[in-house]
Amino acid sequence: MDMEFSPEDLAFQQEVRQFIAENYPPELRERQDEGEEMSKEDFLSWHRILHKKGWVAPAWPVEYGGTGWTPTQRFIWSEETARADCIRLMPFGLAMVGPVIYTFGTPEQKAHFLPRILSGEDWWCQGYSEPGSGSDLASLRTTAVRDGDDYIVNGQKTWTTLAQHADWGFFLVRTDKDAKQQEGISFLLIDMKSPGITVRPIITLGGEHEVNEVWLEDVRVPQSQRVYEENKGWTCAKFLLAHERTGIAGVAASKRAIEKVKDIARTEVDGDKPLLANAFFKRKIAELEIDLTALEFTELRSLAGPNANRGPGPESSLLKIKGSEIQQRLTELALEAVGHYGAPYFRGFGEGDNQHPIGPDYAHRAAPTYFNTRKTTIYGGSNEIQRNIIAKMVLGL
């Protein structure tokens, strides 16, 4: 056992650094630094650059377009992209439906959809949750009824992240009302431009338009767009949920976020010293770093330990719980650090006036980010549900 990078790993690290330095779009960097809300184009610009390089889907098997990197290389990749503040890639295609399609899809589905996910041509959204089915996902009521070669889909989905941009959605629908809950569900790929689909915004606490309601009224979906067998969609869903949870640990991003909070606390003054010298504040940073280290080594053990090839199991719930709590504490500390300047609400009012600034730039999004990040313990299976999973699946209670 060791944690050293080999000479090849170090060379790879250099290559990654250089690639980012030379290829990351400067306009995008500028918009990020100014705390602008990221547009579809912003997300896609970096996606396309990585696709051209062949690096957009490191986790995929090589035959479908993955990079064939070792776990160490993938670790380096996530560290370096976080360190350089690269915009995150949308997970819905790359991390969610892509793996479902290459694991369960037909040859035609693979041939059609996978390249379009890699290129960024299709933006995907996830249509699982419904108003009445959140934690209890298997109770979902959106129905798909056979009609010739098609299904006719009716129902309502909600919390659908960035569906306003989506070309395609992957949906869980009920195809057998009489079967036991989990057994009557199918996994459908639906063209979001299909007649009968309506997308309505839900505005979240920081003022963002990030989630939506999606209404489906007599939406016609060819059966060829069902992944895996009819009534076996829960298998795909469970597979995908476990995948979703590992990504959620977000270790590299949290490391970067700690550095940013420290920068703020070095700039903010507390009496005649920087805030970072305040014993209370410093201690909270230290505790966070220690917790993040514990999370990191827990994740590394599962990525590079004896069970590494088994795929994500119920222990990924641990990564989700601890990772999301750390993300929340980070935003809480940032808000605390900016003091009074957490209060101004910047959304939708005039351009800056340099003569009369409203607090430091780094304060502008502190409160909205804190509010918004409350989501991390709710989505992807709430932390209460994750604890239930650990109790049942890991502890056998």
Enzyme catalytic residues:
244
* Residue 125 beta carbon to another protein: minimum distance, rounded to whole angstroms: 15
Rounded (5°) CA angle 150-156-157: 100
Return the number of the residue (161 or 246) whose C-beta is nearest another protein. 161
User: Which residue, among 10, 120, 100, has the nearest Cα to 55 in the 3D structure?
Assistant: 120
CA 18 to each of CA 24, 50, 302: distance values in angstroms, whole numbers, following the listed order: 10, 13, 29
Among the candidate windows 3-11, 96-104, 205-213, 248-256, which touches another protein by CB under 8 A? 205-213
Amino acid, res. 276: L
Residue 211 in contact with ligand FAD, rule: CB under 6 A: yes
Interface with another protein (CB under 8 A), residue total 55
Tell whether residue 203 is a contact of another protein (CB under 8 A). yes
Among positions 268-327, residues that touch another protein (CB under 8 A) are 268-272, 275, 278, 280-281
209 part of the interface to another protein, by CB under 8 A: no
Burial environment of residue 351 by CB neighbours within 10 A (0 to 12, 13 to 18, 19 or more): exposed
Among 46, 75, 102, 159, binds ligand FAD (CB under 6 A): 159
CA diameter of the chain: 76
**Six token digits for residue 97:** 């439906």
3 binds, among ligand FAD, another protein, none (CB under 5 to 8 A by kind): none
Residue 380 interacts with another protein (CB under 8 A)?
Answer: no
Q: Name residue 125's amino acid.
A: C
| C-alpha–C-alpha distance, residues 37 and 34, integer Å | 9
What is the H or E stretch that residue 388 is in? helix 383-389
Cα angle 113, 243, 306 (rounded to 5 degrees) comes to: 125
Out of 14, 39, 135, 139, the residue judged to bind ligand FAD by CB under 6 A: 135
Q: Which residue has the tokens 């790879």?
A: 12
Name the DSSP letter for residue 87: P
Euclidean distance between CA atoms 223 and 220, whole angstroms: 9
> Quick one: which segment of 25-33, 37-45, 247-255, 345-353 binds another protein (CB under 8 A)?
345-353
Q: Does residue number 368 form part of the binding site for ligand FAD (CB under 6 A)? A: no
The window from 107-115, 188-196, 244-252, 382-390 that contacts another protein (CB under 8 A) reads 382-390
Pairing of strands 168-174, 150-158: unpaired
CB of 136 to another protein, least distance (A): 4
Contact range with ligand FAD by CB under 6 A, out of 129-137, 176-184, 248-256, 294-302: 129-137
CB contact at 8 A, 233 and 221: no
Asked if 379 interacts with ligand FAD (CB under 6 A), we say yes
Cβ-defined contacts of 263-270 (< 8 Å, 24+): 263/362, 264/334, 264/337, 264/338, 264/362, 265/337, 267/360, 267/362, 268/337, 268/338, 268/339
Q: How far is the CB of 54 from another protein (least distance, A)?
A: 37
Annotate each residue in 7-46 with x if it binds another protein (CB under 8 A) or - if it does not, as one string.
Answer: ----------------------------------------
Closer Cβ to ligand FAD, 259 or 384, answer by number: 384
Print the binding letters for residues 94-133 with another protein: x by CB under 8 A, - otherwise.
-----------------------------------x--xx
Closest alpha carbon to 78 in 362, 372, 377, 303: 303
Q: Which stretches of the chain bind another protein, using CB under 8 A?
A: 129, 132-136, 139, 158-159, 202-205, 207, 211, 268-272, 275, 278, 280-281, 335-336, 339-346, 349, 353, 356-360, 367-368, 370-372, 374-375, 377-379, 382-384, 387
Give the footprint of ligand FAD on this chain (CB under 6 A): 126-129, 134-135, 159-161, 211, 375, 378-379, 382, 384-385, 388
